[in-house]
Amino acid sequence: MPTGPPITVSIPKIVSTSRSFSDFLHAPTPVKPPKTATPEQHKFYREALKQQNLNRQTLKRLEILRRETPAARHLIIAGDGSFTNKTIVRGIPEDSTYIGRGRKDMVVHYPPEAVAGANGRPRRYGALAPTPEQLRQDQSVPWQNVAAFAAGKRHDFRIKTMGPVLWRKAGADRLIRVVVIAPLGYRLRNGSRMLYRQPAYLICTDPDMPLEKFLQCYLWRWGIEVNFREEKTLIGTGQAHVGTPASNQHLPAVTVAAYAMLWTVTLQALAKGADLQGLHPPKWRRARAHDGNLPSTGDLLRLLRYETWAGALRPGTFYHFVTKAAPDTKSQKPKPDLPATLFAVA
Exposure string over 125-134, b if 16+ CB within 10 A, otherwise e? beeebebbee
Closest-CA residue to 309 (of 338, 284, 335): 338
Look at the alpha carbons of 316, 317, 320, 322 in this order and tell me if their dihedral is positive or negative: negative
Which H or E run contains 161? Answer: strand 153-167
Query: Is domain 7-113+123-235 in CATH 3.30.70, yes or no?
Result: no
Note whether 202 and 103 are within 8 A (CB): no
Say how far apart CA 309 and CA 339 lie, in whole Å: 8
In single-letter form, the type of residue at position 106 comes to M
Note whether 6 and 217 are within 8 A (CB): yes
The domain spans of the chain are: 7-113+123-235
3-state secondary structure of 228: helix
In single-letter form, the type of residue at position 340 comes to A
DSSP code of 292? G
Q: What pLDDT is stored for residue 114 in this prediction?
A: 72
Closest-CA residue to 266 (of 288, 227, 294): 294
Neighbours of 72 (CB within 10 A): 10
Say how far apart CA 73 and CA 5 lie, in whole Å: 6
Say how far apart CA 39 and CA 310 lie, in whole Å: 64
Note whether 147 and 158 are within 8 A (CB): no
pTM of the prediction?
A: 0.73
Note whether 105 and 99 are within 8 A (CB): no
Say how far apart CA 162 and CA 70 lie, in whole Å: 32
Q: What pLDDT is stored for residue 103 in this prediction?
A: 92
String of DSSP letters for 278-328: -PPPPTTSPP---GGGPPPHHHHHHHHHHHHHHHHHS----GGGPPPPPTT
Q: What pLDDT is stored for residue 311 in this prediction?
A: 64
- Give the distance from CA 287 to its chain's centroid: 26
Note whether 76 and 217 are within 8 A (CB): yes
Q: Estimate the crossing angle of helix 297-313 against helix 245-271, to 10 degrees.
A: 90
- The one-digit pLDDT tens for each residue of the chain (346 residues) are 344 555 555 554 444 444 434 567 777 788 888 988 898 988 998 888 888 888 888 899 899 989 988 888 999 999 888 899 999 999 999 889 999 999 999 999 999 887 666 677 888 899 999 999 999 999 999 999 999 988 777 888 999 999 899 999 998 899 999 999 998 777 777 878 877 678 999 999 999 999 999 999 998 888 888 888 898 888 888 787 888 878 877 888 888 888 989 999 998 988 888 877 766 777 777 665 544 567 888 888 888 888 777 766 655 555 555 556 666 666 666 565 666 555 555 5
Give the contacts of 18 (CB within 8 A, at least 6 positions apart): 8, 9, 10, 224, 227
Torsion of CA 72, 73, 74, 76, to 10 degrees: -170
Say how far apart CA 2 and CA 95 lie, in whole Å: 8
Which H or E run contains 256? Answer: helix 245-271
DSSP code of 207? T
Q: Estimate the crossing angle of helix 338-345 against helix 297-313, to 10 degrees.
A: 160
